[in-house]
Structure 1
Amino acid sequence: MFKTTTAVWVATAVMAVVVVINAHCPSNCSCDDDTLVVYCKEVNLDVIPITLNPSIQRLVLMHNRIKIVDASFQFYGALQYVDISHNHLVNIPNKGFEAQEKLIELHLNHNKISSINNKTFIGLVSLTILNLRGNYLEDLPDRLFAALTKLEELDLGENRISRIDPAAFQGLNKLRVLYLDDNQLRAVPTPAFKFLGNLAEMRIGLNAFTTLDNDCFSGLGRLSVLDLTGAALINISSNAFKGLTVLRRLVLTDNRLTAIPTRQLSELNRLEELSIGQNDFTAIEPNAFKGLANLRSVDISGAAQLSIIKTGLFTDNLNLETINFSSNKQLSTVENGAFIGLPNLRNLIMRNNAFTSFSESMITWQELQQIDLTENPIICECSVLWLKELLIRRNTSQVLCAGPAPLKGKSLNYLGSDDLSCAKFYTKQQAIVGAVFGCTVAFIAVAMLLAYRFRKRLHHSLKKTFWSKETAVNRKDLEYQKTFSDEEYIVRNSTIHHNTQHRPPFASGVSTTGDRRHHRHLHHGLQSHQHLQANQHIYQTPHQLHGGHTLQPYHHHNHHQQQQNLYHQQLQQQQQFYHQQNTLPHRNDKPIPVTEL
């Protein structure tokens, strides 16, 4: 037994000496014995070379036609870096890398590997990076990576994985980066995350699930980056991001969300970077990013239906430094003040949208360090003269004019005020101001003319409305009229008429022509009143005539009623006429002294 073992070791040593003596670099390869690097890219190798220096540390065999990992690797125990990507590997034998105890990085990506098991990677005790992207893996069985106790980065993207065993990641206590994107997962593999307590970054987009359930990332308390690009998400549950207390970067690009998931994002109070472009929302509403006080960068690019950005969307995001709204083909409106109130904003990228102009009040342009407004259909007219001056001062990228036709394709930076038709613009403004001023003057003139034309009515209305003295007099006259009944009013008028008839025509220094005219009107009114009073006596009291004997009325009852109505109308007219004569005397007339009444 001892002799046999000794013989094997001797034979192995002899073979190693022979290999060293006969070591040579394959055709079209690069072999450096000083740096111990062998580089064989696209040299049509079918197998792994066996004649290389056994002390090599880096072996690059990418883009060849190698189909199997054979025993050749047993001669290269010093390897630290191996890249066999973009070959035709179909299967890896168990313990195929058992001799590579010093291997740190192994790249097997873009081959045709369809299955691996928990014995495939035995011996790789120092491995920290394993790349299996772009293969045909469908299932991750129990304890698949248990031998890789120092693994920090695992790339399983672009496979056909539809099932992950709950214990598939057992033993990966030091794993920091995991790629599961572009597979066929129908749900987030939440049960498998319980072994990934130190995971810091995960990409899990481009799968077959459309909903993020509550607590779907449970167990990933130290996750800092979560990429859900192309996950076809339609719905995100209210507590989907619960537990991600240290998440710094979230990518929700290329999904089917119809609105910013404000309520769901508010759980991520330490989020700093958010990418949420290529979704189906048409507007960015106010307070869309409420609760994200530490947000520093927002990227909303490629949203095909986005057309307007509303004021107030960044109310809670005072630490924002970069805003990127690019390649939104319908985005043409940013409400004034939408980006105001952001003291730390330094970078604004608004390229390849549908803006024909930009408002000077949209943002505090002078405080920006980076401005990119290229590939927008800017109409070069006088309203963008300020923008031209800003771009020149900042020496930023050039903006090309989309119109008008004579300026199409020209750089805004090289156009003057005459090219932008500023003279015509200001003339138009002056015409508008002149028209408004003219209309105002015309209105005032018409108002003054109407006031002069109807000055008497206006004076009477103002007098009646605002002159308290006149109002008091009118109210006193009304009270005076209510004091007497019709009979007392007639007797008083008769007394006045009687006194007037017996008064000398010229009282001592008082009687004037206006006085006589006043007495003449008064006498005529009293005579008419006495005549009506006599008629009233005839028609209302026929039973008092002829010594109190009742006589039959010589008119019909209806005729009697009409006569009464006519009497009352005439009586009211006479009273009104007399009242006007007393309250509104002529300018030269003087009131009757109280003593004469």
Structure 2
Amino acid sequence: MDINGLLYKNRRICDSMSFHRLRSSAMRSINLDKMLLFFPFLLLITPINGMSGVGCPMGCVCNDETYVVLCERNKLDVLPITLNPAIQRLVLRNNKIKTVDAAFQFYKDLQYVDLSNNHLVNIPTKSFIYQEKLQELHLNKNKLSSINNKTFQGLKSLTVLNLRENFLEELPQGLFSIMPKLEELNLGQNRISKIDPLAFDGLTALRVLYLDDNALSSVPTSSFSVLGSLAELHVGLNAFSSLPDDAFKGLGKLSVLDLSSAGLSNMSNNAFRGLTGLRSLNLVDNKLQRIPTAQLSHLSRLEELSIGQNEFTTVEKNSFKGLSNLRKLDITGAPNLQKVEKGAFSDNLNLEFIVLASNKKLEELEEGALVGLPNLKHLVLKDNSFKALSESMVSWNELRSLEMTDNPIVCDCHLLWLSNLISMKNLSNVQCSMPLALRERPLRTLSPDDLGCSFRDPRQQAILVTLCVSAVVLLGGLGLFLFRYRQRVREALKDYKWNKRAISRKEHEYQKTFSDDDYIVRSAQQGIKPIPVTEL
């Protein structure tokens, strides 16, 4: 029977805790070969126990069907060797393990190992020499201060290596060259200040690299030349201050670039040259005085841009010129931003999502600043200093969502259109700040009377305005006519008055000389049949 079989048989017949204590003390005093000679004696003196899972350390979960072992927060200080040698997934995070010893040689089928948040100080050479099937290794949140090109010897199938939150200070030449299948490497939150130009040599399959939150004073451009397949790079939280020309030379397939909190205050016009496939760029929390329009113009395929928490005061006209494929723009937390000019997004017709949030001094969006964006569907304007919104600022009817909370909005009749729009399209609500009687009340719940509108229906307002304008035009035209033909009008009035006086005089004389009574009397005397007289 081989060693692995012997150990597994022992796991099924011995008590796990007593064995674990015995194994720990034995490892401290004798080497592994001598300990293996001790196993036959152990089998003889240990009573047979029929309990299932007896080789699983107390507090751990061991599943022999899925070949998964989970030992989390179990205060282990060494690697257990009594587990099923066929296990494929081993999780030992949040323990007190200080080193990776030879126990790994018993588990040759491992595919996933998590040793994060332990007390690892070093990893002896060839510790993983038998883990040729291992695909993921997580060593983050430990105390590793140095590694070399023999540390990971044997990890031919490894695709993910996580060394985040350790104390690494430099990356020597050929450090990862023995891991040709590595696709993701996380070196963030260390103390790395020096990277050899050939540190990443051999990582031809690497697609994701984290170098954020280290002590780099400049972009390690020279070390990127061997990373032709890299798609995602995180180098924020360093102290770059500036980006030179071709800072990311050799990364033609890069799709995601994170430069957040990198201390950038200056960029060369050609800093991003060569990144023709970049889709997402994060420039949040730097020291940019203006939006780097010329530098961004190289990124014609850029779709997402985050540029908040910088020091610019205005989003100027054509600030994002050349970014015709931009779909999402996020400007959040810019402490000095005060205004967005009309035409700021005139070259970004594919914009679907705009976030202008938590900009405490932003109180003005120029008329039409967001007009002409036919694909704009989501607009976030929360936590700014807007007191009112113009109906002509954006094509409101095309929006699917609107977020306007935490603004000092003055709710009056000028926002009746917005109230109707919110109700009609079921957009996110807007809360009033002023007047005091309406404070914190949702705009959608307010009636036209609450907003101080004279007419409830905007159509009535339009009709009233139309009537008033028509009346003014008519009266103005009449006045102009009278003024122009005033002489003729005056003569016509004189003629009218003269004729009226003459007719009145004749009628008066007629009535005096020949009244109706006289006519009837005379007709009777002369035998003339009276003719009925009809009054005029």
Does the alignment reach a TM-score above 0.5? yes
Q: For the residues of structure 1 that align with 2:9 and 2:365, how far apart are their CA atoms?
A: 75
TM-score (norm 1): 0.69
Q: Is the 8 A contact 2:4 2:85 kept in 1?
A: no
Tell me what 2:27 maps to: none
Q: From the superposition, tell whether residues 107 and 87 of structure 1 become closer, same or farther in structure 2 (CA, over 3 Å).
A: same
Displacement after TM superposition at 1:295 (Å): 1.2
Q: Deviations over 1:367-426 (max 9, x none)?
A: 112222222221221111211222222223322211211111212221111111213999
Q: Is the 8 A contact 1:20 1:54 kept in 2?
A: no
- The count of residues paired between Structure 1 and Structure 2 equals 438
Q: For the residues of structure 1 that align with 2:66 and 2:298, how far apart are their CA atoms?
A: 51
What's the RMSD between the two structures over aligned residues? 2.8
Q: For the residues of structure 2 that align with 1:386 and 1:13, how far apart are their CA atoms?
A: 79
Match of 1:258 among 286, 289, 305: 289
Correspondences of 1:77-476 after superposition (within 5 Å): 77-423=108-454
Tell me what 1:556 maps to: none
Tell me what 1:519 maps to: none
Q: Is the 8 A contact 1:69 1:96 kept in 2?
A: yes
Q: Deviations over 1:296-338 (max 9, x none)?
A: 1111111111111000011111111111111111111111111
Runs of at least 4 residues of structure 1 off by over 3 A? 9-17, 19-23, 428-431
Q: For the residues of structure 1 that align with 2:429 and 2:227, how far apart are their CA atoms?
A: 48
TM-score (norm 2): 0.77
Q: What is the identity percentage for the equivalent residue pairs of Structure 1 and Structure 2?
A: 56
- Report whether the alignment pairs 1:18 with 2:10: yes
Q: Which moved more, 1:114-123 or 1:401-410?
A: 401-410
Instruction: Give the 3-state SS of the residue equivalent to 1:300 in structure 2.
Output: strand
Tell me what 2:66 maps to: 35
Q: For the residues of structure 2 that align with 1:343 and 1:285, how far apart are their CA atoms?
A: 20
Q: Which moved more, 1:377-386 or 1:84-93?
A: 377-386
Q: Is the 8 A contact 2:118 2:142 kept in 1?
A: yes
Structure 1 residue runs of 5 or longer lacking an equivalent are: 1-8, 453-597
Q: Is the 8 A contact 2:8 2:82 kept in 1?
A: no
Structure 2 residue runs of 5 or longer lacking an equivalent are: 15-53, 487-536
Tell me what 1:512 maps to: none
Q: Is the 8 A contact 1:20 1:53 kept in 2?
A: no
Displacement after TM superposition at 1:88 (Å): 1.2
Q: For the residues of structure 1 that align with 2:125 and 2:406, how far apart are their CA atoms?
A: 56
Q: Deviations over 1:159-218 (max 9, x none)?
A: 000000011000101000101011010111111111101111100011111000001111
Q: Is the 8 A contact 2:165 2:190 kept in 1?
A: yes
Q: Which amino acid aligns with 1:77?
A: K
Q: For the residues of structure 2 that align with 1:65 and 1:400, how far apart are their CA atoms?
A: 52
Q: Deviations over 1:537-588 (max 9, x none)?
A: xxxxxxxxxxxxxxxxxxxxxxxxxxxxxxxxxxxxxxxxxxxxxxxxxxxx
Displacement after TM superposition at 1:114 (Å): 0.5
Q: Is the 8 A contact 1:377 1:402 kept in 2?
A: yes
Instruction: Give the 3-state SS of the residue equivalent to 1:274 in structure 2.
Output: strand
Q: For the residues of structure 1 that align with 2:142 and 2:91, how far apart are their CA atoms?
A: 15
Correspondences of 1:575-590 after superposition (within 5 Å): none
Displacement after TM superposition at 1:116 (Å): 0.3
Decide which structure has greater helix share.
Answer: 1
Q: Deviations over 1:9-68 (max 9, x none)?
A: 856654454346545222222211111111122222222222222111111111222111
Q: Deviations over 1:499-534 (max 9, x none)?
A: xxxxxxxxxxxxxxxxxxxxxxxxxxxxxxxxxxxx
Instruction: Give the 3-state SS of the residue equivalent to 1:413 in structure 2.
Output: helix
Q: Which amino acid aligns with 1:240?
A: A
Q: Is the 8 A contact 1:181 1:207 kept in 2?
A: yes
Instruction: Give the 3-state SS of the residue equivalent to 2:454 in structure 1.
Output: helix
Displacement after TM superposition at 1:70 (Å): 1.2
- Report whether the alignment pairs 1:49 with 2:41: no
